[in-house]
Amino acid sequence: MKPRSFYRNHGPVRIFLSYFKPHRKLFALDMLCALLVSIVDLAFPLVSRTAMNKYLPEGAFTTFFTVMAVFAAAYLIRALLYFVICYWGHTFGIRVEADIRQDLFRHMQSLGYDFYDRNRTGQLMSRLTSDLFEVTELAHHGPEDLIISVLTIVGALVVMFTLEWRLALVVCIILPILVVVVTLRRRKMSAVSKNVKAKTAAINADIESSLSGIRTAKAFANEAVEYAKFHRANERFKTSKREFHKEMGLFTGSLEFFMTLLSVAVIAVGGALMMKGELEMVDLLTFSLYISTFTSPVRKLVNFAEMFANGFAGLGRFVDLMRLEPGLQDAENAQTLTNVKGEIRVDKVSFSYDEDSEVLNSVSLLVKPGETIAIVGPSGGGKSTLCRLIPRFYDVSGGSISVDGKDIRQVTQESLHHAIGVVQQDVFLFADTIGNNIRYGRPDATMEEVIEAAKRAEIYEDIMAMPEGFDTYVGERGTLLSGGQKQRVSIARIFLKNPPILILDEATSALDSVTEAKIQRAFDNLALGRTTLIIAHRLSTIRSASRIIAIADGVICEEGTHEELLKKNGLYANLWRTQNLKKS
């Protein structure tokens, strides 16, 4: 992947062409074939003129038909050249697209949680797929169509001037007007196309959201509501390209007018010259053939203009995203966090997701190596936010957080994430096998280690009862598993990862009481010798914690053991009594 400075310091065309370099041999082959096609197209009218002016009048019929046979063979070769252009040219385009998509995906991986908070999945998918498809078409057909068109047009003009300069002058008078029309309309099409790309991405995001929530829609019998949303998005899709098609219509109509005007003007002037005896019929016929040869590449330029408008719009969106700097970056001399003991120091930390509301306010906390800390409090009080700041999913607004005395902003994010294992309340499973989802905790783990992790997470027996065992497909986002099974798979990942610091964010919330008790024993074993932070609403799961921290309104309002906090009769005691009343 190129350095980020490359995308900041160069224009879109320079960035685009840089992806050609690794595949320059295929590109050269494509351009060579395009050149040979242009030569064949230019040679036929000229050779036909010679044949009609010389061989037919002289009765050299054998020579005449031999020349025609040679050109039939030339056109067969031309067809083979187009096969190469189509097959290997598309291969070149696909490879360029794959390289661009790879760099874009790698860059998107470097962007922080805040970026994904602001952007919808469907819009990002559009940038990775449909936008880049248009770029691929430009990469393949753009240079090829351009070289065929320019060479054929320039070559045809040169030959036409040698045949009859006055007729060629007619073409040269109309041609600049045609070029001006093409240029102006192309610029307008490019601007409109970029706007269409943005609208299409938003439509894709709406559709992706509806498909993702289809189960919820069915549960609430709201299929009609979702269909109405889809219908509105579909209507926007139908009208999103209206302006673009209008510009394309103006472009094409203007072009067709000037192209037909070109033929009419040549025939009119040529007829006048023939009436004066200053032009032969064969020369006018040859000139007409060159006009046909001339018009074909001009039409290619029309397609190129549309392709350029679409492709450059997609390219512009790609470059805009690649120029976006990650909100969180490693410091210039960031150290690798190694031999982690597990001490966590939170020093006067403040944080807000936006400028209007502060989630944490000057929070300080010291967690000793191997200590188990439970964090409780009302929803929205800042519990989960604090635990997201420790792995540096977000940067603190004020204060600092350190692990083993090292500010987490001065260590690499990769080493920090290796040192911390997180089990979240909202479990995400990939659309893969249950074994591969567990192995995600450590991709190089052996099958034996995966099995051991499953046993420790109390999911092994469930897996063995499944039809395909560890090869059982879990469905999109794990929909084929129960809530408790999904949570235990995520817990198995952490057993496999075996990190020195654990963060358990409502990790047992979806488990039944029996399974929760089993998992709790497993957590107790896993927490031995490790620093563990537990966020829990079920206070029965945290009585064995070394300390309990109660957070409300972004501040630590209480701290102590279970017994100590009950005696204080504060926030924790109220939470405890409320949950016990619910049970009774």
Residues 6+ apart with CB under 8 A from 55: 61, 63, 64, 67
pLDDT at 358 over 70: yes
Residue type, 412: T
Task: Round to whole Å and give the CA distance between 449 and 267.
Answer: 83
Q: Greater confidence, 73 or 297?
A: 73
Question: What confidence tens digit (pLDDT) does each residue in 388-419 have?
Answer: 899 888 888 899 999 998 999 999 988 998 89
- Tell me how far CA of residue 478 lies from CA of 110, 122, 219, 432, in angstroms: 25, 20, 18, 9
β partners of residue 560: 548
Question: What confidence tens digit (pLDDT) does each residue in 246-276 have?
Answer: 877 887 787 778 877 887 888 888 888 888 8
* Range from 2-6, 182-186, 237-241, 370-374 that averages highest in pLDDT: 370-374
Residues 6+ apart with CB under 8 A from 551: 363, 375, 376, 377, 381, 382, 383, 386, 557
Helix (H) or strand (E) holding 556: strand 555-560
- Strands 420-423 and 501-505, bridge-based pairing: parallel
The stretch 433-441 carries a mean pLDDT of 88
| Residue 141, Cβ density class (10 Å: 0-12 exposed, 13-18 middle, ≥19 buried) | buried
| DSSP category for residue 478 | G
Residue 543 pLDDT: 65
Helix (H) or strand (E) holding 420: strand 420-423
Helix (H) or strand (E) holding 233: helix 223-240
| DSSP category for residue 51 | I
Tokens of 53: 């002016």
pLDDT at 511 over 70: no
Task: Round to whole Å and give the CA distance between 359 and 298.
Answer: 62
**Nearest C-alpha neighbor of 449 from the set 470, 428, 472:** 470
Question: What confidence tens digit (pLDDT) does each residue in 187-226 have?
Answer: 777 677 767 766 777 777 777 777 777 766 766 677 788 7
The stretch 489-518 carries a mean pLDDT of 77
Residue 524 pLDDT: 72
Task: Round to whole Å and give the CA distance between 433 and 471.
Answer: 5
Place of tokens 């040869």: 293
* CB 268 within 8 Å of CB 203: no
Q: Greater confidence, 54 or 512?
A: 54
* CB 215 within 8 Å of CB 242: no
**Nearest C-alpha neighbor of 93 from the set 120, 132, 119:** 132
Tokens of 204: 């894709």
Residue type, 392: R
Determine phi and psi for 213, rounding to 5 degrees: -100, 20
Residue 584 pLDDT: 46
pLDDT at 94 over 70: yes
Task: Round to whole Å and give the CA distance between 404 and 342.
Answer: 6
Residue 347 pLDDT: 92
The stretch 225-239 carries a mean pLDDT of 77
**Nearest C-alpha neighbor of 121 from the set 63, 58, 31, 207:** 207
Question: What confidence tens digit (pLDDT) does each residue in 448-477 have?
Answer: 999 998 888 888 888 999 888 999 888 777
* Range from 22-36, 38-52, 55-69 that averages highest in pLDDT: 22-36
DSSP reduced 3-state for 403: strand
Residue 218 pLDDT: 66
* Domains of the chain as residue ranges with CATH: 4-322 (1.20.1560.10), 344-429+500-583 (3.40.50.300)
Tokens of 164: 């009859």
| Residue 149, Cβ density class (10 Å: 0-12 exposed, 13-18 middle, ≥19 buried) | buried
The stretch 534-563 carries a mean pLDDT of 82
The lowest-confidence range among 142-156, 287-301, 333-347 is 287-301
* CB 366 within 8 Å of CB 345: yes
- Tell me how far CA of residue 73 lies from CA of 39, 40, 422, 584, in angstroms: 14, 11, 69, 94
Residues 6+ apart with CB under 8 A from 464: none
Question: What confidence tens digit (pLDDT) does each residue in 381-394 have?
Answer: 888 888 889 988 88
Residue type, 14: R
Residue type, 2: K
Tokens of 247: 């510009």
Task: Round to whole Å and give the CA distance between 8 and 15.
Answer: 10
Place of tokens 């067969």: 76
How long a stretch of residues is the chain?
A: 584
**Nearest C-alpha neighbor of 186 from the set 251, 257, 240:** 251
pLDDT above 70 covers what percent of the chain?
92
DSSP reduced 3-state for 398: strand
How big is the CA angle at 407 (ends 406 and 408), to the nearest 5 degrees?
A: 105
Average pLDDT score over the chain: 82
Assign 512 a pLDDT band (cuts: 50, 70, 90): low
Assign 546 a pLDDT band (cuts: 50, 70, 90): confident
* CB 457 within 8 Å of CB 491: yes
Task: Round to whole Å and give the CA distance between 456 and 521.
Answer: 9
Q: Cα-atom radius of gyration of the chain, to the nearest Å?
A: 35
Residue 215 pLDDT: 63
pTM of the model: 0.68
The lowest-confidence range among 35-44, 297-306, 365-374 is 297-306
**Count of other CB atoms within 10 angstroms of residue 325:** 10
**Nearest C-alpha neighbor of 300 from the set 45, 71, 47, 82:** 82
Assign 510 a pLDDT band (cuts: 50, 70, 90): low
Residue type, 200: T
Residue type, 290: Y
* CB 495 within 8 Å of CB 457: yes
